């Protein structure tokens, strides 16, 4: 189903008789960014210096055809990951707090543009049709770098601008997908306390080809300030200490006393408390995230699974059902209720961390001191639901 915002933008633009300037390779003219100062425009061919086997010290020139940026911006899988990367970073910046920021843009004409708008909307941004004179104008572009990698893979540099805040990052494209080639650069805002989570790229690649992070900071940048988002693989896309008061809502965990009273238990009712919501949705995928006995530790493997599940999420048509479970004996007093509900909360908060809107994730608990064959004994059942029709 097409993104609702995209359809509204298209209808409104058509009604207004709007037109766009010369389209760039990403499908949107980016007047807010001086692309020439970042990347020189490529022709149909670029020159690459290599050394021959016989004359290693005598480089010669070969012609390498430049891969069109449309091969990336028109590819769903690669564009989705890049869009998620920019949306996760932009949502952390105080100047573009999604809770209070309205972004104006024009109708996208590329898959990347559609996916970027979808990712931003999923992060909580209010997107509206406008023109380049609008406050907080959203623009984006992609250009191929002149120099490929040592493996001869093309590298593309993406720029996303939201008003005065501009982000830039390069990505290497290979047969397996796409991966960051360097750090995320920020202009127009401080990069302090920002973090990127590159696990979304690793999770989308075959495990046999996932290598250690080899990104090298680019310290020779004439357009962006010399500030790079620090790589911290242990941190999630939204760090625990945020530089703004409100981003995505995080559900507080329950104490043992709170979990003991007045909370809906799916085991007792044998139906979800969100049944009125879910009746319009069908389950398209189910996963069980396993926890250790009497534990609330999510663990890296479960975090990786959540990132993979979230990558398939369409905020316009989907919701996520998160059912925390604890069935059987527990060494914790009132442990089953405590564990079931807080496991669900931890999984929901992790979904929010990787970019889902908290209103799209429905958490609840299912617990009992007896074994229940229809639900996990110690884990969380995640059901990815999509609207019918």
Residues 17 and 159 in one domain: yes
Residue 274 lies in a domain: yes
Residue 324 lies in a domain: yes
- Domain harbouring 285, CATH code: 3.30.1330.60
Residue 192 lies in a domain: yes
Residues 99 and 167 in one domain: yes
Residues 41 and 183 in one domain: yes
Instruction: Indicate yes or no: pTM above 0.85.
Output: no
Number of domains forming the structure of the chain: 2
What is the number of alpha carbons within 13 Å of residue 264 lying toward its C-beta? Answer: 12
Residue 239 lies in a domain: no
Residues 108 and 199 in one domain: yes
pLDDT digit string (tens) for 145-180? 999 999 899 999 999 999 999 999 999 998 888 999
The token duo for 327 is 């069935």
Residues 167 and 277 in one domain: no
| pLDDT confidence bin for 206, thresholds 50/70/90 | low
Residue 360 lies in a domain: yes
Q: What is the pLDDT of residue 164?
A: 92
The average pLDDT across 101-129 equals 88
Residues 58 and 180 in one domain: yes
Residues 95 and 201 in one domain: yes
Residue 367 lies in a domain: yes
The rounded distance, in Å, linking the Cα atoms of 386 and 3 is 14
Residues 274 and 369 in one domain: yes
DSSP string covering 355-370, please? T--GGGEEEEEEEESS
Helix, strand, coil distribution of the chain in percent, nearest 5: 25, 25, 50
Give residue 109's domain range.
Answer: 4-209
Residue 50 lies in a domain: yes
- For residue 38, pLDDT over 80 is answered with no
Question: Is 81 within 8 Å of 116 (Cβ atoms)?
Answer: no
Residues 134 and 189 in one domain: yes
Residues 93 and 196 in one domain: yes
Q: What is the pLDDT of residue 163?
A: 92
| pLDDT confidence bin for 320, thresholds 50/70/90 | very high
- The residues with which 169 forms a beta bridge, in sequence order, are 158
Residue 222 lies in a domain: no
What is the number of alpha carbons within 13 Å of residue 164 lying toward its C-beta? Answer: 6
Residues 282 and 152 in one domain: no
Q: Return the beta strands (E) in the chain as ranges.
A: 45-51, 59-65, 102-105, 126-129, 138-144, 155-162, 165-174, 177-180, 185-187, 281-290, 318-327, 361-368, 378-387
């Amino acid at each position: 189903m097409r993104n609702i915002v995209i359809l509204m933008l298209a209808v409104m633009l058509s009604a207004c008789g709007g037109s766009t300037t010369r389209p760039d390779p990403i499908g949107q003219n980016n007047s807010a960014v001086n692309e020439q100062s970042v990347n020189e425009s490529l022709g149909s061919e670029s020159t690459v210096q290599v050394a021959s086997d016989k004359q290693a010290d005598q480089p010669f020139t070969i012609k390498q055809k430049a891969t069109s940026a449309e091969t990336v911006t028109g590819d769903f899988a690669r564009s989705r990951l890049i869009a998620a990367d920019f949306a996760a970073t932009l949502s952390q910046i105080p100047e573009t707090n999604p809770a209070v920021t309205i972004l104006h843009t024009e109708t996208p004409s590329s898959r990347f543009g559609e996916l970027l708008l979808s990712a931003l909307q999923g992060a909580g941004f209010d997107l509206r049709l406008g023109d380049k004179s609008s406050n907080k104008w959203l623009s984006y572009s992609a250009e191929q770098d002149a120099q490929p990698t040592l493996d001869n893979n093309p590298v593309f540099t993406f720029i996303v601008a939201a008003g005065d805040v501009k982000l830039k990052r390069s990505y290497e494209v290979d047969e397996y997908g796409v991966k960051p080639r360097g750090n995320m650069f920020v202009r127009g805002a401080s990069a302090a306390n920002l973090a990127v989570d590159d696990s979304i790229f690793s999770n989308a690649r075959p495990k046999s080809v996932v290598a250690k992070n080899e990104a090298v900071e680019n310290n020779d940048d004439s357009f962006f300030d010399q500030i790079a988002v620090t790589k911290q693989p242990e941190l999630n896309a939204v760090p625990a200490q945020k530089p703004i008061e409100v981003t995505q809502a995080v559900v507080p965990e329950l104490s043992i006393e709170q979990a003991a009273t007045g909370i809906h238990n799916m085991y007792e009712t044998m139906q979800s408390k969100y049944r009125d919501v879910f009746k319009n949705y069908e389950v398209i995928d189910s996963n069980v995230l396993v926890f250790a006995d009497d534990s609330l530790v999510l663990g890296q493997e479960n975090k990786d699974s959540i990132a993979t599940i979230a990558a398939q999420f369409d905020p316009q048509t989907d919701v996520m059902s998160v059912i925390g479970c604890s069935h059987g004996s527990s060494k914790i007093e009132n442990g089953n209720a405590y564990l079931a509900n807080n496991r669900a909360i931890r999984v929901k908060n992790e979904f929010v961390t990787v970019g889902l809107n908290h209103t799209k994730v429905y958490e609840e608990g299912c617990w009992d001191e007896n074994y229940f064959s229809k639900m996990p004994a110690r884990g969380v059942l995640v059901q990815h639901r999509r609207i019918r029709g």
